[in-house]
Amino acid sequence: AQSVTQLGSHVSVSEGALVLLRCNYSSSVPPYLFWYVQYPNQGLQLLLKYTSAATLVKGINGFEAEFKKSETSFHLTKPSAHMSDAAEYFCAVSLTGNQFYFGTGTSLTVIP
């Protein structure tokens, strides 16, 4: 069965500091992996996706994620946090590229 685990339901960082949001997946074969962001009272927006091309994936708003098969991880990073990055972040996995399974989310707070 496919699943994702997001370590840390709440993460706080200072403005300008490194953002690191963790995601580990459970899958018997390399899956498709996604990171989505959700701002209050809005739908989810795709940040980036891994589809077995490059292991380091660059997304929008300066975010990137690295697929590490040996660690079954797909952590999301950003070198310097902005106030506008405060939101809920979801990792999602799919084996087929169609049916998606989302993690429980990580709420990011940026401290000025």
Partner 1 sequence: EAGVAQSPRYKIIEKRQSVAFWCNPISGHATLYWYQQILGQGPKLLIQFQNNGVVDDSQLPKDRFSAERLKGVDSTLKIQPAKLEDSAVYLCASSLGAGESYNEQFFGPGTRLTVL
- Kindly list the residues in this chain that would bind partner 1 in the complex (CB under 8 A): 9, 32, 36, 41-46, 49, 90, 92, 94, 97-105
Smallest separation (angstroms) from partner 1 to the CB of 55: 18
State which residue, 17 or 107, has the beta carbon closest to partner 1.
107
Q: What three-state secondary structure class fits 60?
A: helix
Give the nearer residue to partner 1 in terms of CB position, either 17 or 38: 38
Pairing of strands 24-26, 32-38: unpaired
Nearer of residues 59 and 62 to partner 1, judged by Cβ: 59
In the numeric block, the tokens 């091309």 are attached to 53
Q: Please report how close the Cβ of residue 89 comes to partner 1 at its closest, in angstroms.
A: 10
Query: Parallel, antiparallel, or unpaired: how do β-strands 106-111 and 10-14 relate?
Result: parallel
Residue carrying the six token digits 């799919």: 94
Identity (one letter) of the amino acid at 12?
A: S
Give least dist CB 105 to partner 1, A: 5
Return the residue matching tokens 């074969």.
29
